[in-house]
Amino acid sequence: MRTAQRKPPGAPRIALIHALAESVQPIHAAFAQQWPEAVLFDLLDTSLARDLASAGRLEPAMIERFLALGRYAAATAGEGGRTEAILFTCSAFQPAIDAVKQAVNMPVLRPNEAAFDKALDIGGRIGLLVTFPPALPALETELRQMARERGVEISITGHVVDGALDALKAGDTVRHDDLVAAAAAQMPLTDSLVLGQFSLARAAAAIAPVQGRVLLTTPKSAVEKLRQALD
């Protein structure tokens, strides 16, 4: 009779669901640095981002697609045992992700949820950079909703870094980072600056520090919050 192999402590199976291929590497890098024991697997549907940009709004059919991905992720088992949590890395889909939260019985984390929590802890003046235009109004709505739930007043300075995502998709990472760094330098002073997409995290090192402003990246914040939830 074979003895069941025990899972090492702190090694949960976590599903990562992506709508942009450029989000995969940053979150894997964050886990490798902060929580290498976690067992990760990826679900990627790049048509979601394209379809959202084409439709201009989050349609019911897209929410159903998110529910299908979330239920599939929650039902899987393999290395690390059964799936214990789901992390979405796609920033413009809050209502769809919230629908998944209601549908599955495990921790489900929106990509910006943890970084926004930190920003609200730091202060009410929040800067927000994105490179995918549909993400900005969605993230501003999410951030204001979180602030209302806390009962705090905030001001948001949001900006779309034109051309940066195209550069990244073309493999020009230097231009991507330079464009993001230039946009960050031109932002008015805020208490925090959130790089609002996982694909933006790679540009953090290129951004010059600003006294009194905390720079927040979504992958690092998400891994920290998820580890706290599962530990």
Domain definitions of the chain by residue range: 13-111+220-230, 113-218
Please give the structure tokens belonging to residue 94.
């809050």
Alpha-carbon Rg for the chain, nearest whole angstrom, is 18
Classify domain 13-111+220-230 by CATH number: 3.40.50.1860
**How many helical (H) and strand (E) elements, i.e. helices and strands, does the chain have?**
9, 9
Q: What is the DSSP letter of 188?
A: P
* pTM (two decimals): 0.85
What is the reported pLDDT for 6?
A: 45
Q: Do domains 13-111+220-230 and 113-218 have the same CATH topology?
A: yes
Q: Which of 108, 131, 109, 129 is nearest to 119 (CA)?
A: 129
Look-up of token digits 């330098």 = 185
113-218: which CATH topology? Rossmann fold (3.40.50)
Residue 211 CB burial class (10 angstroms; 0-12, 13-18, ≥19): exposed
List helix spans (H) across 1-156.
24-34, 47-55, 60-75, 94-103, 113-122, 135-150
Q: What is the pLDDT of residues 84-116, one digit of tens each?
A: 999 999 878 888 999 999 999 999 999 999 999
Q: Which of 89, 50, 38, 121 is nearest to 201 (CA)?
A: 89
Q: What is the DSSP letter of 191?
A: S
pLDDT at residue 9 above 70?
no
Q: What is the pLDDT of residues 48-89, one digit of tens each?
A: 989 988 988 889 999 999 999 999 999 998 888 999 999 999
Please give the structure tokens belonging to residue 14.
């976590």
